[in-house]
Amino acid sequence: EEQREQEKEQEILLAVFDFDETVVNENTDDRVRSLIPDVDYWAYYQHGKWTDMMDKLLEIIHERGFNEEDVRKTLVDIPVVPG
């Protein structure tokens, strides 16, 4: 019984990264990259490997002391696409 109550209290979070603006009205990758404006992200890009580049940028974001909550705050106010 107690375990069920604890499970009910746990928050479920779904993070959606939407680079082509089909779910939200902004490129989420751009928004996340705004945390590290001094980083030339193209320096980490290899043709066809966008996800690998974003992994590296998220690693840099973490190394600079940003945490999950910082990324969440950056993304949470992006409006969703109507419909």
HSE, CB side, 13 Å, CA atoms: give it for residue 5: 2
- Catalytic residue (choose from 20, 38, 40, 77): 20
Q: Is 77 tagged catalytic?
A: no
Asked if residue 61 lies in contact with residue 36, where contact means CB atoms within 8 angstroms, the answer is yes
Strand partners, 41: none
Q: Is 70 tagged catalytic?
A: no
Phi-psi group of 21: left, alpha or beta (phi > 0 → left; psi -120 to 50 → alpha; rest → beta) = left
Q: Which residues are catalytic?
A: 18, 20
